């Protein structure tokens, strides 16, 4: 039994893209980096990003440069599913789940 997903390019839905554009427009109306770099905005308010916020910005930039979908990997999985040769390795799956969970615990 195969699962066919059509019409999904791996991009966010139209609404999410529009929300992103709206946020970018709102951000463009704020003071430029020159004043924010000094920690001051035009009105005298101060802005200081936490280390976590700076890390999130760096991760966001890194993720933006990654491909949305590894098409070769998807095709390989589809082929193995179609031929019935897909085999689950329970120990490998368990290791991956534990690694993922450990990563989540470190992030908190």
Tokens of 73: 């990997």
* Tens-digit pLDDT profile for residues 7-45: 544 555 555 555 555 555 555 445 444 444 455 566 788
Please give the pLDDT value at position 85.
92
**pTM of full prediction above 0.85:** no
Mean per-residue pLDDT of the chain: 75
- Higher per-residue confidence, 12 vs 66: 66
Please give the pLDDT value at position 6.
56
Contact at 8 Å (CB) between 35 and 45?
A: no
Q: How many CA atoms lie within 13 A of 91 on its CB side?
A: 0
Q: Name the residue ranges covered by the structural domains of the chain.
A: 14-66, 70-108
Please give the pLDDT value at position 40.
58
């Amino acid at each position: 039994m195969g699962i066919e997903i059509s019409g999904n390019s791996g991009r966010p839905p139209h609404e999410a893209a529009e929300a992103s554009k709206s946020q970018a427009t709102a951000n463009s109306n704020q003071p430029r980096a020159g004043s924010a770099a000094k920690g001051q905005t035009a009105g005298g308010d101060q802005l200081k990003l936490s280390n976590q916020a700076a890390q999130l910005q760096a991760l966001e930039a890194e993720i933006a440069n990654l491909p949305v979908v590894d098409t070769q990997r998807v095709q390989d999985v589809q082929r193995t599913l179609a031929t019935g040769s897909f085999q689950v390795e329970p120990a490998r799956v368990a290791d991956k789940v534990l690694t993922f969970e450990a990563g989540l615990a470190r992030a908190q």
